[in-house]
Every structure is written in structure tokens, then in C-alpha cells.
Chain A
Amino acid sequence: MATVPAEYALGLAAVLFALGLTGVLVRRNMVYVLMSIEVMLNAAGMAFIAAGYRWAEPDGQVMFVFILSLAAAEVSVALAVIFRFFHRTGTLDVDKASSLKG
């Protein structure tokens, strides 16, 4: 049976990572920025799975579970903060979060 080379999976992960980074830089809505960060983190998880596959070790998948759970923790706190920001300012625009300057 032909197998998929690990390099392909790594390439896909790199593309996903680049997409996520573009989203963070381009998107103005905070929720979308957060989603783009999730895409980046999951791209890293995918790269770990590809690496674990290459070495035929479970370590890559273990790291993926770590990344998944910590990304969930991160997003729950982040959403709470963003929710409070929306409550105070009535907007989710990242550019409006600019009262701190100097």
C-alpha cells in the first residue's frame, strides 16, 4: 500500500500556518483574529503529527493533544476578555483597541 510521505503533511501544515498568520494580520474582527490563531496552533499540531509519523513515535500525537487542550484553555480565557471588551466599547474592531499609545 502506498503511503503519504511525511513531507506532504508538513507542507500542508506550513500552508495552514501561513493562512492563519495572514488571518491574524489582515482580519479586523477580534473573534476572527482568535480563530486565525487557532488555525496557526492547529497547523503546529498537524506538523507534530507529521513528525511523529516520520519517526513512527507516539510523541507527535501526545504533543498534538497538549496543543489542542491548551488552545482550548487559551480561547476560553480570550473569549471572556473579548466579551468584556465588547461590553465596554460595543465593538470588536481590533483597531479600536488603541487607547494605549506613546
Chain B
Amino acid sequence: MSIADFIAVLPILVLTIAAVAATVLAAFRTGHAFNAALAACGFVLALASLAPASKAAPRAVTALFSVDAYSLFFTGLLLGAALAVTLLSYGYNAGREGGLAEFYIVLIIGTLGAIVLASSVHFASFFLGLEILGVSLYVLIAYFLGPHANEASIKYLILAGVASSFLVFGMALVYTELGTMEFSRIAMRAGAGAGPLLFAGLAMITVAAGFKLAAAPFHMWAPDVYEGAPAPVGAFLASVSKGAVAVIILRYFLQTGSFAIGPFFTVFTAIAVASMFAGNILALFQKSVKRTLAYSSVAHIGYILVAFLAGGRPGTVAAGYYLAAYFVSIIGAFGAVALLSGKEKELDSITEYRGLAWQRPWLAGAFTAMLLSLAGMPLTAGFLGKLFVAGAGVGEDLWFLVIALVVNSAISVYYYLRIIIALFSPAYGEAAAPLPGLPLAGSVALGTLTLLLVFLGVYPAPLLSLLEKAAAVF
């Protein structure tokens, strides 16, 4: 490896060093603020290191990584999301029992796994990144001794373990058939004709990806895990974990042209439609805000898959824009739940949100904006995201998927509005428990996310120009 190679993977190196440094320093300084600041510094430095890395791009670093506009864009997105989660966790964690230093260390390591996924073009780095991310999540979900945290973590780790085994077995089958684990070579060799082993391998990789993305019919774990996990970890699960898997799957399928093999286009169409309907219809019956958001994130994966299936440049740009908009909105929505949660108990039932707009007008306003963006209302990022996805779908004549998307957007408005109406309706007679004070770091993060949401919703040009470059990679 040359110096230029090291510069190209600088974000990965910075996070690795940050994780090691945080582990060593946690032995001496266990203070909460110190460790949170260290993690935030790590993420900011990694974001800053994208500038030199982009000068070295495009560059293939060994057979494992490809640093190009695509990987750099999504690395930046994932790091930004991780930074927002760190700030939101700081207020949420403050005053909770137990050592808090390790929370941030594991958060850094999980994000490291995610950005490894963003630039990997080889099965080995794919598997490594996914496992680094997954194992960190087991810890984060069960970090606090909540009533459901252990159970949520166990549910996640059993299903994620099974999904990982499916993934590696599928990879082994593809390798048996084609004799290579590099995405670009898989593309060349698979073109010669798909044998049964390649077919089975791809099917197993699809199942594993479905689990990790929480796409229907593999979404059963999502609501339980999102509900049991602490709210900032829910934000991390819904954004960084899901987004990183979406990014690598999009790269894998675009680069290897696997949608063209056998019935995989139809299979993914079915998964997309099932995710949209299952997510939105089940969300209608939820009483818990976190479960509603979990089902909403299942539906959002369905929307993103529409852009995947459209493929090509418009599809990639739409998927990237949608992911960015979805990241901002879902982190913001979970962040609002985190900011409203006290030390003893999280504010979770929708009825508990009644009258909040009168006690915490700004926070309720930000939460409303996030929910409207998830529903796809105009002037928010979510609206433009849906517009681009629908445009990409129409461009490829995927009318069935586009109609499903429009119908589902209409269904979803109902349950988002239900939360918003609760926020703005008068509180019940009895005096509600006093709300916790607003932590500064979390409020700043939520405020920034809200501004970003509106900015992306009215002025998409800067992000689009970045995404055009990213899409030109394929």
C-alpha cells in the first residue's frame, strides 16, 4: 500500500484510531462529558478527513475497498448521522446508571463497521464490516438495564446471527461458482450464465440483506428491537445500520448486475411492495411511538427499493437522496423521543404525547416537521426524496411500484398525523409528570436536523450535484 492508499482510506483509519484511543483513555477518564466529546471529535475528524480522501479518489485500495465518489458521499452521510446520534445520546445518557464511557466506544466501532461497508467491493470486507456493525449493535441495544433492553438485544442477536450465516453461506456459494469475491469480477464472470449455485448464493444473500434492512417479510424483529432499545440507539439502528447495508447492497447489485439474473427483479419487486404495505398497515395499529417509527422505517425501505429497482443513474441519485432525507427525518424523530425521555422511563405511548406542544413548543414543532417529512409533505426533504424515487420509477416504466408508492404514502399520512394531533391536542386533566430539562447538545442536534430538513426540501441542488458524481461511478 502506498501513501495515497492510506490517505484514501483516512476516514476508516481515523475512526479506528479514535476507537483505540477512546478505549485507552476510558481507563483513566471515565467522565461522561469527556468520553462523549472524544467520540464527537472522532466523528468530526473523520468527516474532515474526507477532504484529503476525496483528493485521492477514485482509487482502489487493495482488492477490498474502492474509494470513489459513491463511497465518499455515503461515508460522509453515515458519519454525520453518527455524530447526530452521539449528540442526542449525550443528553439521553446523562445521569443514567453504570459506566457511560463504553457506550461511545461501541458507537465509534459500530460506525466504523458502517463506513467499511460504504466503501467495500469485496465479500471479505462486506462480511467484516457487517459483523463489526452487528456486534456493536448487540451491545448498544442492551446497554442500559431497561425492562426490555436485554430481550430486544437477544432477539436482534439471534436473528442477526442467522442472517450473517445466510450471508456468508451465500457468499461461499457465489465464490464456489465464480472463483472470485470481488464485485467487479463477479459481474464479468456471472455474465457467462448463472448456474444453480450462483442462484442459490444470491438467494441467500438476498435473505440476509432482507433481515438486516428489516424489509418484509423479514421485518418481524424490527418493532420489538426498536422499542426495547434506548431511543438514540433506535435512531442509530434505523439510520446508520440500515443505511450502510442499503449502500453495500445497492453497490453489489448495480456493479454485478444481479437484478438481471433469473427472477431476482421480481423477487425484489415483491419485497418492496410487501415492505411498503406491511410497514404502513401495521403502523396504523400501534400505540407506541417507537413501534410506529419502526414500522414506518420498514415502509421506507420499500420506497428505497423502488429506486434500487429503477437502477441506473436516476435510480442511484434517487436512492441516495431518499436515504439522506430519511436519515435526517428518522434521526430527528427518534431524537425528539430521546429528548423527551426521562431517566426512569421513556415517553413512548402516543397518549403520553398529548398536549406536548403547549409545554415544549419548539421541540413539538421539530418533531412535527420530522413526521411530516417522513410522510412526504411538500417543503420537507422527504417530499423531494419521494418525488425523485417516483421519477426514477416512472423513467423505467415501473408503474406497479410507483402506484404502490403513492398509495402507501397516502396510507402513511394517517398514522403520522395521529401523533401530530396528539402533540397539539389539550393535555388530559390530571397533572402530567414533569418533563425532563432539555439537554443542550441534543437540542442543538435536533435544531440542526430540522434546519437541514427544510434546506434539503427547498434547495436540493448541492446534494444532487454530489449524488450525480456518486452515481457516475457505476
Instruction: Tell me the A residues contacting B by CB distance below 8 Å.
Output: 6, 10, 13, 17, 20-21, 24, 30, 33-34, 37, 40-41, 43-45, 47-48, 50-52, 54-55, 57, 59-60, 62-63, 66-67, 70, 73-74, 77-78, 81-82, 84-85, 88, 94, 97-102
The prevalent SS among residues of A at the interface is helix
Q: Is A17 a contact partner of B165 (Cβ separation < 8 A)? A: yes
Between A24, A67, A81, the greatest number of chain B beta carbons within 10 A of the residue's beta carbon is seen for A81
Which listed residue (B162, B175, B176) contacts A21, Cβ 8 A? B162
- With A30-B154, A51-B176: A81-B138 Cβ-Cβ less than 8 Å: yes
Q: Which residues of A contact B286 (CB under 8 A)?
A: 102
The prevalent SS among residues of B at the interface is helix
Q: Which residues of A contact B165 (CB under 8 A)?
A: 17, 20, 37, 40-41, 43-44
In the complex, residue of chain A having the shortest beta-carbon distance to the beta carbon of B167: A44
Q: Is A74 a contact partner of B124 (Cβ separation < 8 A)? A: no
Which listed residue (A48, A66, A82) contacts B154, Cβ 8 A? A82
Q: How far is the CB of A26 from chain B (nearest CB, A)?
A: 13
| Complex CA distance for A20 and B158, rounded to whole angstroms | 12
Which chain B residues (31-71) contact chain A, with CB distance < 8 Å?
none
- With A78-B138, A102-B287: A40-B169 Cβ-Cβ less than 8 Å: yes
Q: Is A45 a contact partner of B154 (Cβ separation < 8 A)? A: no
Q: Which residues of B contact A24 (CB under 8 A)?
A: 158, 162
Q: Is A59 a contact partner of B169 (Cβ separation < 8 A)? A: no
Listed by A's residue number, 17 A-B pairs whose Cβ atoms lie within 8 Å are A30-B154, A33-B158, A34-B158, A34-B161, A37-B165, A40-B169, A41-B164, A55-B175, A59-B175, A59-B181, A60-B175, A67-B168, A77-B138, A77-B139, A81-B142, A81-B153, A102-B227
Q: Is B176 a contact partner of A37 (Cβ separation < 8 A)? A: no
In the complex, residue of chain A having the shortest beta-carbon distance to the beta carbon of B172: A47
| Complex CA distance for A73 and B134, rounded to whole angstroms | 11
Beyond A74-B131, A97-B155, A102-B286, 11 additional contacts (C-beta under 8 Å) are A30-B154, A40-B162, A41-B168, A48-B171, A55-B179, A63-B175, A66-B124, A74-B138, A78-B161, A85-B154, A101-B224
Q: How far is the CB of A51 from chain B (nearest CB, A)?
A: 4
Q: Is A81 a contact partner of B154 (Cβ separation < 8 A)? A: yes
Q: Which residues of B contact A13 (CB under 8 A)?
A: 169, 172
Instruction: Tell me the B residues contacting A by CB distance below 8 Å.
Output: 123-124, 127-128, 131, 134-135, 138-139, 142, 145, 147-148, 150-155, 157-158, 161-162, 164-165, 168-169, 171-173, 175-176, 179, 181, 223-224, 227-228, 285-288, 291
In the complex, residue of chain B having the shortest beta-carbon distance to the beta carbon of A86: B150
- With A47-B173, A85-B150: A100-B224 Cβ-Cβ less than 8 Å: yes
Q: How far is the CB of B417 from chain A (nearest CB, A)?
A: 20
Q: Is A100 a contact partner of B164 (Cβ separation < 8 A)? A: no
| Complex CA distance for A44 and B208, rounded to whole angstroms | 13
Q: Which residues of B contact A99 (CB under 8 A)?
A: 147-148, 151
In the complex, residue of chain B having the shortest beta-carbon distance to the beta carbon of A55: B179
| Complex CA distance for A98 and B134, rounded to whole angstroms | 22
In the complex, residue of chain B having the shortest beta-carbon distance to the beta carbon of A7: B176
Q: How far is the CB of B127 from chain A (nearest CB, A)?
A: 6
Q: Which residues of A contact B147 (CB under 8 A)?
A: 99
Q: Is B154 a contact partner of A74 (Cβ separation < 8 A)? A: no
| Complex CA distance for A56 and B164, rounded to whole angstroms | 25
| Complex CA distance for A66 and B158, rounded to whole angstroms | 19
Q: Which residues of A contact B154 (CB under 8 A)?
A: 30, 78, 81-82, 85, 94, 97
